A and B are shown apart, each in its own frame.
Chain A
Amino acid sequence: MSSWRRLLPVLTGLVFVGIWYAVHFSLSTEERYLLPRPDAILQAFSDEGAVLGSATLNTALGALCGFAAAIVVSVACALLLSLSPLIRASLYPFLMMLQMTPIIVLAPILILWSGPGFLSVTIITFLICFFPLVVNTTQGLISTDRNLVDLFTMARATRRQEILLLRLPSALPYFFTGLRIAATLAPIGAIVGDLYAGNSAGGRGGLGFQTIIYSAQFKMPALFATAFAGCALGFVFVGAVIALQWRLLHRWHDSYSRTDS
């Protein structure tokens, strides 16, 4: 039963590829370039392998740095925000503004400030990842079980002990909710950033930059290959987060079924 289940996506994948070919061949010969054949895309992977590989790595690096910076800063901010409702009331509107502002519009401004290249890509990724992280982590820090807080108060725990031994661990499930959202956004952020801020100086261009090059060159199969590379990067990010989440939560958290323990 379960091995059957695992085969299902493979099956749907094959059907999908079949339909893809069918659509490709149903187009007139002049239009066929619009939807390159899957094997042509595979071919593009091998032709453009070196370029795409280094572009993917550059994007991954930008995404990782922005993501990591967002984690560090958002946890620090969440700790600050969790201190008092007054602090939250005064800062939340501005966090909301940051969230509502289309980062794409900010991109050119950022580039003027910090120049094209890696730093801008990282900052744009950071901005995109920051909000879901800070909101979820703050929520986690302030929803600590009241009874457990009483226990710590009763035991005359210091503020530091309360944060390290109680608030942070109990915020972990919330933090991971934010982290999963941020992990899907990080590669997208880095690619969008790279669309504007990427440059090829010293081979530092990422997937966004390659997208511009390939579309200028009308290399349709290579564009599709670029999309798949971005998709793979997304899987790596989200997969890593899910694995870490499992590692840290599965023994004790109710979101993992009782039967596996």
Chain B
Amino acid sequence: MSMPPPIVDFQRASKRYGEGPLIIDDLTLTASPGDFISLIGPSGCGKSTVLKLISGLSILTTGTLKVNGLAPEQAARELAYVFQEPTLLPWLTVGKNIELLMQLDHSAPAERTKIRQRVLSLVRLDGLAGRYPRQLSGGQKMRVSIARALSRSPRILLLDEPFGALDEMTRDHLNEELLAIRQQEAWTAFFVTHSVTEAVFLSNRIVIMAAGPGRIHEEISVNFPYPRTAETRHSPAFQELVARVSRVLRSVEEVLP
């Protein structure tokens, strides 16, 4: 039986900024292609830092990290980031915003148009290409932001609390849509969230982190088969798992100074 090579591979990784305190301590975490990994834990425990390390924006202090078999700086082309804020350029239309990353990469205009249309329809915003961000709702802006990330055809998608600022209804819808998109696109996801329900619904692995210094407290796997739908949330097994993850999370947060 042969395992596929890991797409993200942290071995005994630690991180401190300058002379500051240890932010990440002895992190060993391996993601296989197609994993949907949620990172959950008290704020300040280093969840965003983990994403920054994968993206190569931040460099490990000790240990090793391979992304798609390469040093993270060399794998930048393989990944895309979705932030908590939609981070759209307000002076560009939705269409131009989606083309931004391709424009920065100097890809050909015809190619850009093709990809723009494809990702716009993935996030079900066809027809809104000519709008400006201020004309969109919060959920629509987030969809544009996701479409922009997808325009790079990433192998790894890093999402840092992307739905944290949205109301619960919108969040649920976007969760379902994100999974629907994933049925068509085989990226690996690292998803930072504060919502246990969201983590259980989306992921096949939930990594619960503890703070001071940031480390993995426990990993819980989620075995509900994909595709998951709104119905999945109502099953007793789902509720049970949510309760279990919440309990672990609470125990981690209680040890905070």
Contacts and interface: CB of A to CB of B under 8 A. Distances in A.
Contact of A169 (B55, B85, B91, B105): B91
A151 B87 contact: yes
Contact of A147 (B57, B83, B103): B83
Interface in B50-95: 55, 57, 76, 81, 83, 85, 87, 89-92
A151 B234 CA distance: 37
Contacts of B91: 169-170, 172, 252-253
Interface in A216-261: 251-254, 258, 261
A166 B92 CA distance: 11
A62 B55 CA distance: 54
Contact of A261 (B55, B89, B101, B132): B132
B46 interface: no
Interface in A134-171: 145, 147-148, 150-157, 161, 165-166, 169-170
- Say whether chain A's binding surface is mostly helix, strand, loop, or mixed: helix
A166 B103 CA distance: 13
B76 A156 contact: yes
A151 B86 CA distance: 10
Nearest to B148: A151
Contacts of A252: 90-92, 132-134
B90 A154 contact: no
Contacts of A251: 132
B104 A161 contact: yes
Interface residues of A, number: 23
Nearest to B86: A147
B218 to A, nearest CB: 30
Nearest to A248: B91
A152 B88 CA distance: 11
B86 to A, nearest CB: 9
B103 A151 contact: no
A202 B253 CA distance: 84
A134 B134 CA distance: 29
Nearest to A253: B90
Q: Which 6 residue pairs spanning A and B have beta carbons closest together?
A: A147-B87, A252-B91, A252-B132, A151-B87, A147-B85, A252-B90
B104 A155 contact: yes
Given A148-B87, A252-B132, 20 more contacts: A145-B87, A150-B83, A151-B81, A151-B87, A153-B57, A154-B55, A154-B57, A155-B105, A161-B104, A165-B100, A165-B103, A165-B104, A169-B89, A169-B91, A170-B89, A252-B91, A252-B134, A253-B91, A254-B134, A261-B132
Which one of B57, B85, B91, B100 has the highest number of Cβ atoms from chain A below 10 Å of its Cβ?
Answer: B91
A155 B101 contact: yes
B135 interface: yes
B109 to A, nearest CB: 15
Contacts of A147: 83, 85, 87
Nearest to A256: B134
Nearest to B131: A261
A257 to B, nearest CB: 11
A44 to B, nearest CB: 47
A166 B83 contact: no
Contacts of A155: 100-101, 104-105
A156 to B, nearest CB: 6
